[in-house]
A and B are shown apart, each in its own frame.
Chain A
Amino acid sequence: MKIILTATSPSIDSKVDSRFGRGAYLIVVDPDKLEWQAHPNPGVGASGGAGTLAVQFAANQHVDSVISGDFGPNAYNALQTAGIAMYLFGASTTVKEAIEHFKAGQLHRVGAPTVQGHHSRG
C-alpha cells in the first residue's frame, strides 16, 4: 500500500502542510513499512491547476490514498476519477503522527470537496 501526505519540509518528521495543491512537499509512504520518499510538490509554483498537477503526480505514483488538510473541487474530481481515497489530517501535527492516525482508522474520509476552487484561467 502507498499513500501520499502533504508536508512543509521533505521528511517524515515534518509538520503536515494543510494545502494539497500548494503544499510544499509530497511524502510518498508505505504506511506498514514506514518507507518514505519526499518529492517537491509539482503544483507549488504553478500559476493555476496546482491541484490537478498534484493529482497527476499521485496517480503516476499509483497511491491508494492521499492525506491533506483540504481538497478543492478540481483535485477532488480528479482524485475521485483516479480512484484515490482522500483523508483529512484532523488533529495530526506531524506526518508520522498522521500515518499512525491513518493506520488506526482515526482520520476522516472525504466525500465531497472541502474548499471552494481557487483561481483558474487567470
Chain B
Amino acid sequence: MIITIASGKGGTGKTMVATSLAFSLAAINSEQPPLFLDCDVEAPNAHLFLHPRLGEQQEVGLLIPSVDETKCTHCGKCAEVCQYHAIAVLGQKTLVFPQLCHGCGSCTALCPEKAITEVPDRMGVVERGPAAAGISFARGVLDVGEPMAVPVIRQLKKWAISQPEQVVIRDAPPGTSCPVVETLRGSDYLLLVTEPTPFGLHDLRLASQVAGELGIPAGVIINRENGPYLALDEFCANQHLPVLLRIPFERAIAEGVAQGKTLVDIHPESGGRFRQMFKQIASLL
C-alpha cells in the first residue's frame, strides 16, 4: 500500500505526520518496516527525523539536444517541433536552452540532417539507505538552480522499489503543481494535512481537487487545532473527506519538532493513534 502525505499549503506538518506514521508502523512490524520516500526534492527534510545512512546514490538527468553546427543547415525544423521552445534557429546558429528542455527527443528524431545528438544534462540525484527503526529511506535532491523537479521524483519512485506487502510512505512537496501530481500518481491513499486557517482551507480545497482528478481517495489530518474552525469541518463533510486525526496546537509539539523529534517521541501515546488511523485507511480501501 502506498500512502502519500500532501497538503497544498506549505508548513502544515506533512513531514511531521509522514515520519510519525513511519515510526508508528515500524514499531509494530520490525520484520518489515515501511519504505519512506522524501519526494520534496526541492527542499527534502525528512532525513532530519529519520536519520538515514545514505549509502547509495544515482544521478538523475535528461537527454538534451546537442547540435553539430558542421551538419546543421539551419532549416528550423527542430525549433518548429519543440513544444517547449527550448531550441531556436537564429540565422546561422542553432541555440539550445537546456533549462527549457523536457528531453522529449522530437528535435533529434526529426532533424533531416541528423545533426542532433542527445547528451545527458544532470539535474539532481536520488539517494537511499537504511534509517532509524529499520525504516527503508530514499529521497531525491534537485540541484540548486534547476527548475524541473518532476524527473527527479519520477526516478526516485522507479529506483526505490518496495518489497511485496511493504507499506510505502511518500512525503510530497507543498503546492498542487506538477511535482505534487507526480508524487501522487500511483498512490493508493492520500493524507491531506491542513491547518484550521483560511489559507489552510483554501489550499486543502485545491489539493483535494487534484486528488479527485487523479481518482485517489483522500482523508484529512487537521494539525495545530486550536478551537473549532467550522468552515474546515463543513468542507470536509461536504466533500466526504474523513477527518482521520486532529493534532492540537501545542508548544511542546513545536519545541519537539524543532529538535528533530516526531510526534511519537513527543507524545508516545500518539503511536497508537497513528496505527489506528492506518487501520482505518486500510479498511477504506
Do A and B interact? yes
Identify the A interface with B (CB < 8 A): 43, 46-50, 52-53, 55-56, 59-60, 74, 77-78, 81-83, 117, 119-122
The 8 A CB mask of B86-108 against A (1 = contact, 0 = none) is: 10111101010101111000000
Are B84 and A56 closer than 8 Å at their CB atoms? no
Of B85, B100, B102, which one neighbours A56 at CB under 8 angstroms? B85
* Docked-complex contact A59 and B85, CB < 8 angstroms: no
Contact status B93-A56, CB under 8 Å = no
Given contacts A81-B93, A120-B99, A121-B148, whether A49 and B86 have CB atoms under 8 Å apart is: yes
B281 within 8 A of A: no
Q: Does B177 contact A (CB under 8 A)?
A: yes
A59 touches which of B82, B88, B97, B99 (Cβ 8 Å): B88
Cβ of B248 under 8 Å from chain A: no
Q: Please, which residues of chain B bring their CB within 8 A of the CB of A122?
A: 147-148, 177-178
B95:A78 contact, CB within 8 angstroms: yes
- The interface residues of chain A lying within 8 Å CB-to-CB of B82 are 49
> A49, A59, A82, A83: which contacts B100 (Cβ < 8 A)?
A49
Q: CA A59 – CA B177 in complex, angstroms?
A: 33
The distance from the CB of A26 to the nearest CB of chain B, in whole angstroms, is 15
B91 touching A52, Cβ below 8 Å: no
A52 touches B88 (CB 8 A): yes
Report Cα–Cα, A56/B77, bound state, in Å. Answer: 12
Which residues of chain A come closer than 8 Å to B86, judged between CB atoms? 49, 52
- Residues from chain B with a CB closer than 8 A to the CB of A82 are 88, 90-91, 93
B169 is an interface residue with CB less than 8 A from chain A: no
Asked if B79 lies at the interface with its beta carbon under 8 angstroms from chain A, I say yes
Q: B89, A52: Cβ atoms under 8 Å?
A: no
Q: Shortest distance in angstroms between A99's beta carbon and chain B's nearest beta carbon?
A: 24
- In the complex the two chains form, is B85's CB within 8 Å of A50's CB? yes
Give B79's nearest chain A residue, CB to CB. Answer: A56
**Most chain B CB atoms below 10 A, which of A43, A49, A81:** A49
Q: Assess A49 versus B97: contact at CB under 8 Å? Given A56-B85, A56-B90.
A: yes
Least Cβ–Cβ distance between A21 and chain B, in angstroms: 9
Instruction: Decide if A48 touches B88 in the complex (CB within 8 Å).
Output: no
Q: How distant is the Cα of A57 from the Cα of B90 in the complex, in angstroms?
A: 10
CB pair B177–A56 under 8 Å, yes or no, is no
Inter-chain CA distance A15–B282, complex, in Å, is 61
Task: Judge whether B91 and A55 touch: CB under 8 Å.
Answer: no
With A59-B89, A121-B100 in contact, do A48 and B84 touch (Cβ < 8 Å)? yes
